[in-house]
Amino acid sequence: MNSCPVCGARRTLAFSAKVLAKHEVDYWRCGKCGLLQTVEPWWLEESYADAITASDTGLLSRNLAMAAPLAALLYLRFDPRAAFCDLAGGFGLLTRLMRDQGFDYFWEDPYCRNLMAVGFEADRCHRPFEALTAFEVIEHVHNPLGFIDDAMRRHRCRNLIFSTVLYEGAVAPSVDWWYYSFHSGQHITFYQRETLASIGRRLGLQFASVHGIHILSERRIDIPLPLRLATGRLSRVCAWWAARELGSRTQADSAALADRAGGAGPGSGA
């Protein structure tokens, strides 16, 4: 446990805490890149009795808040007419929102049932993905390097757009930091900006970040003021423009799914 799996530097014990109200767990921190994580998490089967914890009342609002900035970023810095895939996509809400915005988005999650993007699973896409997304995911994995590298290899895509709440400072956050989610036991790895940059260097990728959206890419992603505005206070305007230019897939998807099922879909207007 003394060597950081990201940068190889020495780690020290940051603190111990009670997870799931019964397991005493040690948290180790790297003094160089800031990676902070639990010991090997033996309690995850218990934590994931339900894939999405009942206390995650912010699930809907996070997806709604993320859709517009993400649309602006994809439209301005990637090929907006290419295909995209949401890793660990949960119930499929973000995939559906992005398809409604006009992006050819697909879903993947081996642990959760797809409820809102049925018919648009990743294995149904027959062209390369321009970028992968993984929002509020990497705090759930104990081997972030392996997770990212595996996803990029499987999908032959070297662009990842993701989110996780970062912490700052030379010491671990206070043990009452809400993001630890001790009650659920699902958050096991925590990052600083330098941690993410170190992961990028290990994988030969560039790192950038804007408004809490992080990017690891094979290409350099500059974040000038116009892009900051477009993914910030002007994100809804930019998302509207992207949808106008690309054309929402809401009705077309409904028609396609109805054709597969042999009848008219409820969202098709039939």
CATH number at residue 114: 3.40.50.150
**Pairing state between β 23-30 and 11-19:** antiparallel
The residue whose two tokens read 């603190």 is 15
Instruction: Please indicate, yes or no, if residue 123 is contained in any of the structural domains.
Output: yes
For residues 89 and 79, is the Cβ–Cβ distance under 8 A? no
Chain segment 178-200, per-residue pLDDT in tens: 999 999 999 999 999 999 999 99
pTM exceeds cut of 0.75: yes
Give the pLDDT of residue 235: 96
Rounded Cα gap, residues 149 and 141, in angstroms: 13
Instruction: Please indicate, yes or no, if residue 129 is contained in any of the structural domains.
Output: yes
pLDDT tier at 269 (50, 70, 90 boundaries)?
A: very low
Q: 213: domain range?
A: 58-254
Q: What percent of the chain has pLDDT over 90?
A: 83
Rounded Cα gap, residues 7 and 82, in angstroms: 34
Chain segment 231-265, per-residue pLDDT in tens: 999 999 999 999 999 999 999 999 999 998 875 54
For residues 185 and 44, is the Cβ–Cβ distance under 8 A? yes
**DSSP letters along 27-59, please?**
EEEETTT--EEESS-TTHHHHTTSSS-TT-TTH
Instruction: Please indicate, yes or no, if residue 155 is contained in any of the structural domains.
Output: yes
Domain count, the chain: 1
pLDDT tier at 104 (50, 70, 90 boundaries)?
A: very high
